[in-house]
Structure 1
C-alpha cells in the first residue's frame, strides 16, 4: 500500500484518465525533482510560483537548493513559466532550463495586460496573489496555444523566439479569463468568514514570506470590513505551526497586528483523536504537538512581553469554545486571525462551518 500522498496521487491520475479530462493540473507535494507527481514525461507547460524557505529537511536550507528542486519539473521540449523571482533563484532556474532543454519565461506584472474593464476583481484577496493571477493567465494562454485551442482569443505572439529568462508581454484579457479570476475561490486562503459577532480571518500561511503577506492582508482587510462608526473589535490570534517549522521564524510577522488575546492549540479537532476523521493527522504524536503548542506560546510572550494575554489548549474545539466565551463576556465584536497551518485552518472551518 503506498503512503498517503502517493495514494492520492495515484488516485488522481486514475480519475483523470478514466474521466478523459481535457486538461489536468498537477501540483507537486513537496519540491519537484523527487516528488511522486513528477512522472509526466511531456507536460504541455510547467509553472513555478514564488519560492520561499520550506521543507528544508527534504529540499535544502538555501533558496538556491530549493529552486533546484522546484525546477526538477522542467522537461525537454516543454515550456516553463515562473512568477517573478530573486536573482539567485532565476540563475538556478535558467541553468536547470538549459540543462533540461526547456524554454523558460517570467510572467509579467498585472499592469502589463490590456484589461477590458475599469477595475480588476480578483476572487482571492491580497496583493500577494497578483503574481499567481498573472502566472495562471500565462499558463492558460500557453496551454491553449500549444494545444491549438486558442482560436482567435489572442494575437500572434513571438514568445518562442524570446531568450530564456525574459519577461513575457501582457495581452488583451479575454472575458473568460476575467470570469475565472473573479470567481476563483480558495477556502482557508485569505478568507473572511463572518459568523454573528465573530469575524474569522483565515489564512493557512506557513512560511516566513507567506506569514508576512498574511499580516499585510489581515491589516488591510480588517480596515476594509470595519466601519468608522463601529467600536474597536477585540482582536484574537489563533496560531499553530507543525513540527517541521519554527514559530521563531513565523510569529514575528504577526507581532504588530495589535492582538488583544493570543490562543495556541494543535491542529486536532478534539482532545481524543478520531482516526476515522479526514482531519486526523497520524504523522505527529500528541505529546510532540502539545510541546509545540506550549513552545509557540512562549515564543509569542517573548516577542510581545510577559503581560500578554495568551493561553494554550489541547485541541481546536477548546480554543473555539474560548473564543465564544470571550465574545459572550466582553459584549463586543470579535476578530479572529487563524494562521500558521493549513491543518489548523481546515479544522477551524470544519467546526465553525461544518456543512460548507
Structure 2
C-alpha cells in the first residue's frame, strides 16, 4: 500500500479523547527555573535525584502549561512538513532529558496499538505478567481521574511523591538544555511519555507495557526501536482527521509499530485492513500472527473468567495471552512457572495471516485474566436504587459493544415488581467524532431521559487541575452539548412513532436560564408538552449527576433549589427519578466524561 502521509501535527503525541491533544508544546518555564543540576549519566543511573521543593500540585499545574492551544495547533497544521520529522523531534526531546533511544531497549517493552480495546488488552497483559511475580510498568492514556494513572508500577498509579520527583527531574533537564536551536518544550503527551521512560528505568521494572496514543507510525511512543513483542487490537474508524478516513489507511498507521524480527499479534479484523497489516509486517520483516478466539484457549474446559465484563473483552484477553506468553518465551522466563502447553491442531493453512497456536493457559495466566481491573470500561457501580454503568466507548464499534454489554447487564435484569424503572443516558463526545452515528447506536436501549453535559466536573475547573483542558472552553463544550441534544431529538423523530419536543433554535434567547449561581440551569424545550425520552443539558457533571440521582446516591447531594423556573421535563423527571424502584444510568461517549463521573462517585480515587 502506498505510504499515507499524516498532517505533521498528528505525530506530536496526540491522544484519545481530550487532554493533551495537539502538537509541539508551548510550555512555560516552571516556578523554579533551571534547576536540578543532574548530569544525563546521573539521571539514567539514578545516582542523583535532586528535585526542587515543588509540590505535586505545582507539577500538575506546570504540566498543564504544555497543552497546546487551538490557535497554535492550527499554525502547526499549516506550517509543519514531514511527520517523520516529528519523531526525530521526539528523539531530540528524549536525548535532552538525559536518555537515548537505546536505553529504552532495557525496558523489555510490549507495544500495543489498535482502535478499540488496546487499553484493555494492555491491562490484561500487565496483570498476567504481574501474576508471574514480575515488576511491571504500564503506560496508558488518557487518565480518568488523576494524571498519575497514566504511569503505573505493579498495576498501581505512581505516588504523588514519585510523580513530583520524576516530573521535575525531566522538566528541569529540558529547561536547562534549551538553546536557540532547541527552544521548545515537548507537548503534554510527549512529556509524559518521556517521563514514563525515566520512571520505568530508574524504578527498575522487569518490563513495560506501552499503549500507543494515536495511530502508531508517527505516534511519539514509536521511538521504541526494539520491543519484545507488539500487539494490534480491533481496528475501527476513529481520529479520521489524523489517521485517514478508511480502515485501510488506519491499518497502515497502526502497522507502523512493527519492527524487524519482533513478533506481532492481531485479533480478527476485516479482510482488507488485515491485508494491509500483513503487507506492513512483510515490509518491516516482522512475523505477524492472528490470535485464535478465546474459546480455543479454553479447550473444552470451563470458560476463562475475565475481570472485565462484556463479550468484546474476550478478543482483548486472547491477544493478551499471546503477548504475555511470547514475552515469557523471548525473555527466557521459564523459571517463573511452566509455560503454557500448545494445544494440537491449532495451526491452519490458507490464511493471509497465519494463525498463532492456541495453548492451555497456566495458573498464573488464569489468575491474571481474572484479577484484571480497568476503571471506566464496562464498569458497574451499584448504589442502592441507582446503578451506574460506565464505559468510555467513543467509536462506532466500541459503542456497539457498549450497547450489547449494557443491554445484557441492565436491560435483561429482572424489572422491579411495580415496573417503575427509569433508564438514563449520560453522554458527551469530543474531538472529530461522528456524534450522530454514536447516538443512533444508543437508541435501542430505550432511555427515558438523555442528559448531555461537558466533561467538566464543576463549572469552574480551576480546582480540578488533573482534568483541566486548556483547548476546550465551557462555551464550546456547551455548544457541542446543545448540538447533541438536538441530534438526539431528531433521531427520535426519524425513528418514527415518537412525539418528542423540539428545542428552540440557538438564536432564541432564554434557552439557558441561569439560576442564582452561574450555569445552574438546564437547556430546556420551549414549552410544556407530552415528552418521550426528553433530552436535557447541564453545564457540568456535578449538576447532571445530582439531578439524575435525586439524593438517592449517598455520595451525591440532592439537587439544590435554584430559584429558576425549570421546564416540566426536569420537574416531572425529578419526580420519576425519586420514586422509581430502579434507576439505571449509562455513562458513555468519552473516557474523560467517565473519569469526571468516577471522580464524583468515588472521591477516594482523587486522593
Range of TM-score over shorter length? over 0.9
- Unpaired runs of 5+ residues, structure 2, are 1-184, 494-499, 501-530, 551-573
Residue of 323, 330, 333 corresponding to 1:146: 330
Deviation by residue 1:312-346 (Cα, 9 ceiling, x = unmatched): 01111110111123376334321100000000000
For residue 192 of structure 1, what is the aligned residue in structure 2? 380
Query: How far 1:20 sits from its partner (Å)?
Result: 1.4
Residue of 186, 190, 204 corresponding to 2:392: 204
Aligned residue runs from structure 1 range 321-336, under 5 A: 321-325=546-550, 326=574, 329-336=578-585
Distance (whole Å) between structure 2 residues aligned to residue 156 and residue 119 of structure 1: 18
For residue 308 of structure 2, what is the aligned residue in structure 1? 124
Aligned to 2:222, the other structure's residue is in SS state coil
Aligned residue runs from structure 1 range 28-107, under 5 A: 28-107=212-291
Query: How far 1:303 sits from its partner (Å)?
Result: 1.0
Query: What is the TM-score normalised by the length of structure 1?
Result: 0.94
For residue 470 of structure 2, what is the aligned residue in structure 1? 282
More deviation, 153-162/118-127: 153-162
Residue of 405, 408, 413 corresponding to 1:220: 408
For residue 361 of structure 2, what is the aligned residue in structure 1? 173
Aligned alpha-carbon RMSD (Å): 2.2
For residue 252 of structure 1, what is the aligned residue in structure 2? 440
More deviation, 114-123/196-205: 114-123
For residue 202 of structure 2, what is the aligned residue in structure 1? 18
Distance (whole Å) between structure 1 residues aligned to residue 300 and residue 205 of structure 2: 30
Aligned to 1:236, the other structure's residue is in SS state strand
Deviation by residue 1:193-223 (Cα, 9 ceiling, x = unmatched): 0112110000000000000110110000014
Structure 2 residue 537 is matched with structure 1 residue 312: yes
Structure 2 residue 5 is matched with structure 1 residue 5: no
Query: How far 1:147 sits from its partner (Å)?
Result: 1.1
Query: How far 1:234 sits from its partner (Å)?
Result: 0.6
Distance (whole Å) between structure 1 residues aligned to residue 333 and residue 382 of structure 2: 41
Aligned to 1:206, the other structure's residue is in SS state coil
* CA distance 1:259–1:114, shift in 2 (3 Å): closer
Aligned to 2:210, the other structure's residue is in SS state coil
Q: Which has the larger radius of gyration?
A: 2
Aligned to 2:334, the other structure's residue is in SS state coil
Distance (whole Å) between structure 2 residues aligned to residue 26 and residue 66 of structure 1: 19
Query: How far 1:150 sits from its partner (Å)?
Result: 3.3
Distance (whole Å) between structure 1 residues aligned to residue 333 and residue 325 of structure 2: 9
Query: How far 1:237 sits from its partner (Å)?
Result: 0.4
Structure 2 residue 430 is matched with structure 1 residue 242: yes
Query: How far 1:8 sits from its partner (Å)?
Result: 1.0
Deviation above 2 Å: which 4+ runs of structure 1? 114-120, 154-164, 223-232, 305-308, 324-332
Query: How far 1:113 sits from its partner (Å)?
Result: 1.5
- Unpaired runs of 5+ residues, structure 1, are none
In 2, are the aligned partners of 1:114 and 1:170 still within 8 Å (CA)?
Answer: no
Query: What is the TM-score normalised by the length of structure 2?
Result: 0.56
Query: How far 1:171 sits from its partner (Å)?
Result: 0.6
Distance (whole Å) between structure 2 residues aligned to residue 13 and residue 161 of structure 1: 39
Structure 2 residue 586 is matched with structure 1 residue 337: yes
Query: How far 1:224 sits from its partner (Å)?
Result: 5.6
Query: How far 1:226 sits from its partner (Å)?
Result: 3.7
* CA distance 1:282–1:230, shift in 2 (3 Å): farther
Residue correspondences, number? 356
Distance (whole Å) between structure 2 residues aligned to residue 249 and residue 341 of structure 1: 14
In 2, are the aligned partners of 1:116 and 1:172 still within 8 Å (CA)?
Answer: no
* CA distance 1:226–1:278, shift in 2 (3 Å): farther
Residue of 211, 214, 222 corresponding to 1:27: 211
Structure 2 residue 537 is matched with structure 1 residue 349: no
In 1, are the aligned partners of 2:310 and 2:378 still within 8 Å (CA)?
Answer: yes
